Structure 1
Amino acid sequence: MTTERREPAQNAGERAMLEGWLDYHRQTLAWKCEGLTDEQLRTASAEPSELSLMGLVRHMAEVERGWFRKVLVGDDPGPVYYNEQDPDGDFHVTEDDTWAEAYATWQAEIETARRNAAGFGLDDLSKGRSRSTDEPFNLRWIYTHMIEEYARHNGHADLIRERVDGATGD
């Protein structure tokens, strides 16, 4: 698989621009994981951190699930990788965890996110509410937050990938 990263059009409308940048960052994370073995994808960044590329992908599957299912449309299917006893379970990868499963779960959550967001305008309010303010979010806020979330974690992915095999790049 070769990941094609496409920068958003420089003159796109607001929604296309937000969706374009979100997709760009999704593609960047996939690109950072490309060509590595399961073992390499499970390699932690540096002790004592357990942060790995596979853990980042599992985390972003949970983030997509949380914002576009639970918050946006009010559907709460529950977490995939974490639970009350292990709230950071998405980052706790084991020898039994595979890239095929993590990637498939992440991609399924991205497709659900796209489908759910398609039913909302940028100013439409979410069904779920903020835990701190009890206010709903508009889709524009959710898109902006997701871009920020991916951008931050893609910075982590840069460093982890360089540690794993020396590969660098934007």
Structure 2
Amino acid sequence: MISALILVAQPDEPEAVEQLADTLTALVDGVAAGLVADAVIVSAKGSEALETIADGSGAALVVSGAESPLRAAARAARRDWLLCLEAGDLPREGWIRSIDRFVGTARPDVSLARMQRSRAKPNDRLRSLVEGLIGVARPRPGDLVRRAALLAGSNLVPRRRPKILAAWLDRA
């Protein structure tokens, strides 16, 4: 089982709240399949709307302040593997099987996997190519990372090459 960490960059924007609701709704299939155990909503600042959504969905709400949002959320997560998402990320069909297979077979020294984005920007494609060659300095939304690696520091040291999953993310 995994924990889902959902970043909300603009908690005061109505569109961001709608995107958060879309992402939480998309994770329901993972909960039903027994893959997603809990969800943590994280933002640099809190809002009444985030509190309402967290309370209604059973997710934990973390206000990170100046700390790294993913690291703050990792402390509240309950599972060893963390799926990092942004509000508005929607996993495509087949994501449950792909992540479940990876988590079940990953060697102990493997700490990072990456979902693919369906509409990546040209800069994202270039960054992915470079990271594939030299490794990843820190996780980003769409990554599946071990909790211990995320809590160990702000960066993944040493740099890790991500395992590319046969799972895709769309945007709401």
TM-score when scaled to structure 1? 0.27
Task: Decide which structure has greater helix share.
Answer: 1
Task: Decide which structure has greater strand share.
Answer: 2
Question: Computing the radius of gyration over CA atoms, which structure comes out larger, 1 or 2?
Answer: 1
TM-score when scaled to structure 2? 0.27
